[in-house]
Amino acid sequence: MCETIFDIKNIEGNFYNVASPESNVDSIINVIIADISSVKVRIDRGDRSFPASVATKIDHNMLKTKRRIVLQYKFYSSHIERAYTLAEQNIINGKQTAMELLNDMYCKSLEKYEIDSFEPDIVQVRQHADDIISDVIKQLRSFVYNSANATKYKEQVEIGLNVVVAHAFVECCVLENPNNATN
């Protein structure tokens, strides 16, 4: 193991040790997470069925390990829609802006796997589908925690991240839409 140690004795000139300006800006997604984390949800672990269109999207993208976040989403689906409706009332284009951000994170993830984000190759997307979802969650986690209005409890944030990304999956902003399939 290698270790680098710096010993700074004297600093000359201007030195500013302050938080970056990005961390002083509120996030729409944090508003959504805060809203869905404040509702009472009845979770039925025995009900593992999905609507046909969601099951088709899961199969089309060959999602495996990250299917469980879609199950989490199922329990919060009506609440997240209500949260987006409330955000729309308070923030111009709130839902659209959040969906665009998530789609941008998806495109960045595609590019990490050297997949063309303009015309993604579904074979490559399927090969990396679970990793792409994990990467989008990772990007969103960083974004959320670096916003001024981060939700207070980490557990709520973690569930909220999964639910928001799964919602983006269901809305076809993350991974590919089977209705647009050419193969």
Q: Which of 162, 159, 160, 157 is nearest to 174 (CA)?
A: 162
- Report DSSP letters for 8-43, one per residue: -----S-------GGGGS--HHHHHHHHHHTS----
Q: How far apart are CA 127 and CA 43, in angstroms?
A: 31
pLDDT score at 176: 92
Lowest mean pLDDT among 97-101, 122-126, 149-153, 167-171: 149-153
Task: Give pLDDT, residue 13.
Answer: 63
- Each residue of 89-127: pLDDT tens digit? 888 888 888 999 999 999 999 999 999 999 999 999 999
pLDDT at 1: 56
Residue 2 confidence (pLDDT): 67
**pLDDT for the residue 52:** 57
Question: For position 61, what pLDDT does the model report?
Answer: 95
Q: What is the structure's pLDDT at 15?
A: 60
Amino acid at 170: V
Q: Is residue 134 scored above 90 in pLDDT?
A: yes
Task: Please tell me the predicted confidence (pLDDT) of residue 141.
Answer: 92
Which pLDDT band holds residue 183 (cuts at 50, 70, 90)?
Answer: low
pLDDT class of 75 with cuts at 50, 70, 90: confident
pLDDT tens readout for residues 1-56? 567 776 767 766 666 555 565 556 777 877 787 777 666 666 555 554 555 588 89
Section 149-156 average pLDDT: 80
pTM for the model stands at: 0.78
